[in-house]
Amino acid sequence: MNTPSDSNEDPGSISDSVSSSSPVTSKGAGVATATDGQTEQGSSPLRTVLEWIVLIGAALLVAFIVKTFLFQAFYIPSDSMVPTLIRGDRVLVNKLSYKAHEPNRFDIVVFLAPKGTETDLIKDLVKRVVGLPGETIEGRDGRILINGTVIEEPFLPAGLQSRTFGPVKVPPKSYFMLGDNRPFSKDSTYFGPIEGKTFVGRVFVRIWPLNRLNLL
């Protein structure tokens, strides 16, 4: 979140091409050529400025289109997704993912903060999709159960305990979102399932810091 060159005709060469028996014509040709050269030189700086304006405008337009419809960078301001994402990480979100398919379990998603959770600085949240539409999700004995069956979450550190909650029936077109830092994440265990229409996009790569660059 991405030179014209000027050439002047040589009046001398034009003058040399005119017969010596026509001094008036030779003088007139020389004056005319000098005037044309001055006009071209005078328009050159303006043309350069206009070209830069067009280039900058085109670059801004491309950046706007990319940010609005394709990809957007986000800064991670909290520890709710530790260890997958830590405070200060910067990630890139694909805004087209869910135009092509429905969200998948365990996708990491940026979505609009539910009413009452947003602040002046935080308008979006990042969590992981765990419960899908129509499923019943429950936190029991430190594990997550979907429709009564414990699911495996290999991205979590060994021994990490999830909160006790539910069971909760996930409404149609909604998703149950959990942070990887389960004991300290304010997620759907607080604000409930999230409607898919609030999804900004899928987090697919960590771009900063460079030593943590990685696909997600």
Is the pTM higher than 0.95? The answer reads no
Classify residue 35 by burial, with Cβ atoms within 10 Å: 0-12, 13-18, 19+: exposed
**CA distance linking residue 129 with residue 196, whole number of Å:** 10
Give the pLDDT of residue 64.
65
**CA distance linking residue 158 with residue 153, whole number of Å:** 10
- Statement to judge: residues 42 and 129 lie in one domain: no
Q: Could you give the count of Cα atoms lying within 13 Å of 22 in the half-sphere of its Cβ?
A: 11
Mean pLDDT of the chain: 82
- Statement to judge: residues 84 and 162 lie in one domain: yes
Give the pLDDT of residue 172.
98
Active site residues: 80, 127
- Statement to judge: residues 114 and 184 lie in one domain: yes
**CA distance linking residue 147 with residue 136, whole number of Å:** 5
Q: Residue 184 domain-assigned?
A: yes
88: CB partners within 8 A, 6+ apart: 75, 76, 209
Give the pLDDT of residue 67.
60
pLDDT digits (tens, 9 = 90+) for 157-208: 999 999 999 999 999 999 999 999 999 999 999 999 999 999 999 999 999 9
Q: Which residue has the higher pLDDT, 116 or 139?
A: 139
Q: Tokens for 177?
A: 């979102």
* 96, pLDDT greater than 60: yes
- Statement to judge: residues 142 and 176 lie in one domain: yes
- Number of domains within the chain: 2
For 168, the domain range is 76-215
Q: Residue 187 domain-assigned?
A: yes
Q: Residue 4 domain-assigned?
A: no
Q: Residue 6 domain-assigned?
A: no
**CA distance linking residue 125 with residue 29, whole number of Å:** 73
